[in-house]
Chain A
């Protein structure tokens, strides 16, 4: 994989920040977009802009075909046979909320258990907290074990016949831990529980075959996968989606409507009420093609190599604590704390050197509390990230250490 060639595909990387070349190490928050994604959306707006699923005129048919093609493409990308199991959402968060409301309200009852992991982003925690409150169910948490891993044995002891749902991340946005999903899914299924995988981070860095994984629900976002913001994917097994009520009611999701009631369309369209983000979905299609051309195995390897290199470079500083597995697989990002310097100050000093990183809780406040931290700094990688970018981050770190010495 030629990073210098890839960098040429991303126009924003030519931007200067404070007069210095942009070093973008915040891809876990959102990735940058390649020219082909911008062109695909531009092409839609300049040559076929029309609403979908309702016109018989040429543009509407063309736009509908392109939109539905992306559904097929996404099914293929994630190893799903039946494209009708792919719902377009506006975000990972919306996908999780559709399941929490539409499926959870029907299938979770008093004293049932919902299991989440302690690595979860707020998006895969708060909807389950609320569901547990509404249904008087119990929220159980898989604790952390050594080396930023989930405690699998503790997970097994949490499972029981009242466990209805297990919600787990494919890749932590704080520690870069990819839990071994197949083990969790097999054990959960043995108890009759359903499993939701939050692949918001994972989908940009690792290959997935949902069919092989056999998870029940799977959610991710376009904008972390080099596509535009405002588009996400919800996968659900056909029979589960059919047993799930829509979250958004209105136009485009109905078959017949009389004055006092309505009939709803088949899956997946019953979940896509209102005019969807057509340009965004078409842009996402271009992003999926871009990733498929690179090959997700290659993307994974690149992500792993960058993190190994970052471990080497940042591990050499004795006053740094790396919030990252050292003895288990990890990819995509490196969070850290520096003794005596607040993460906000680290991020501001990095920014003054043109290096964009994240500081704060990264929407994972309970995890930070568990680690005894108020906040952390995080650098995260994309397909355009080069080892030299990590060297630039090291220079910025040295500057921070000098200022606060």
Chain B
């Protein structure tokens, strides 16, 4: 199976939930010093502790940006504990392409930003 599936390329070129949130409950930036990839994730929680909205900006490879786009769709309606339990394998499952060990940090950069954003209170 090819790393650059149509779905990955589509999410990379047309990312979902792209942009910053005007109103957010948590914001975090993750940076990969090895390649310079960056993602800033904004999270808005509702009264019941579920994610109501998400927004992100970033730059980097197709895998890191598409992974964040895919993750942002999955996030809506999830609780903080559901997000904290989400791991690298789950991200690879979401991407649905073979991710080598060398690229796994690309796949999880956005997740790391989101995890920090949900644990923060603004």
| Chain A residues in 8 Å Cβ range of B61 | 342-345
Give A360 to B102 CA distance when docked, in angstroms: 12
| Chain B residues in 8 Å Cβ range of A404 | 4, 9, 62
- Which of A341, A345, A349, A375 is packed against the most chain B CB atoms within 10 Å? A345
Contact (Cβ within 8 A) B35 A344: yes
Contact check: which of B2, B4, B34 meets A345 at CB < 8 Å?
A: B4
**Top 8 closest pairs, chain A to chain B, by CB:** A374-B36, A342-B61, A344-B61, A403-B4, A345-B62, A375-B36, A345-B61, A360-B35
Contact check: which of A343, A344, A360, A375 meets B63 at CB < 8 Å?
A: A344
| Chain B residues in 8 Å Cβ range of A72 | none
Would you give the 0/1 interface string for A338-368, flagging 1 where the beta carbon is closer than 8 Å to chain B?
0001111100110010000001110000001
Contact (Cβ within 8 A) B3 A352: yes
| Chain B residues in 8 Å Cβ range of A360 | 34-36
Contact (Cβ within 8 A) B36 A361: yes
Within 8 A of B (CB), among A375-405: 375, 403-404
Some 30 contacts from A to B, beta carbons below 8 A apart, are A341-B62, A342-B60, A343-B35, A343-B61, A344-B37, A344-B60, A344-B63, A344-B103, A344-B106, A345-B4, A345-B62, A345-B63, A348-B3, A348-B4, A348-B63, A349-B3, A349-B4, A352-B3, A359-B35, A361-B35, A368-B36, A374-B35, A374-B36, A374-B37, A374-B60, A375-B35, A403-B4, A403-B9, A404-B4, A404-B62
A405 to chain B: closest residue by CB? B9
Chain A nearest CB, measured from B30 CB (Å): 14
By a beta-carbon cutoff of 8 Å, the part of chain B in contact with chain A is 2-4, 9, 34-37, 59-63, 103, 106
Total contacting residues, chain A, CB less than 8 A: 16
By a beta-carbon cutoff of 8 Å, the part of chain A in contact with chain B is 341-345, 348-349, 352, 359-361, 368, 374-375, 403-404
A360 to chain B: closest residue by CB? B35
Contact (Cβ within 8 A) A374 B63: no
| Chain B residues in 8 Å Cβ range of A348 | 3-4, 63, 103
| Chain A residues in 8 Å Cβ range of B9 | 403-404
B4 to chain A: closest residue by CB? A403
- Which of B2, B4, B37 is packed against the most chain A CB atoms within 10 Å? B4
| Chain B residues in 8 Å Cβ range of A345 | 4, 61-63
| Chain B residues in 8 Å Cβ range of A403 | 4, 9
| Chain B residues in 8 Å Cβ range of A352 | 2-3
A374 to chain B: closest residue by CB? B36
Chain A nearest CB, measured from B97 CB (Å): 11
Give A348 to B103 CA distance when docked, in angstroms: 9
Contact (Cβ within 8 A) A374 B4: no
Give A342 to B3 CA distance when docked, in angstroms: 14
| Chain A residues in 8 Å Cβ range of B62 | 341-342, 345, 404
Give A345 to B65 CA distance when docked, in angstroms: 11
| Chain A residues in 8 Å Cβ range of B106 | 344
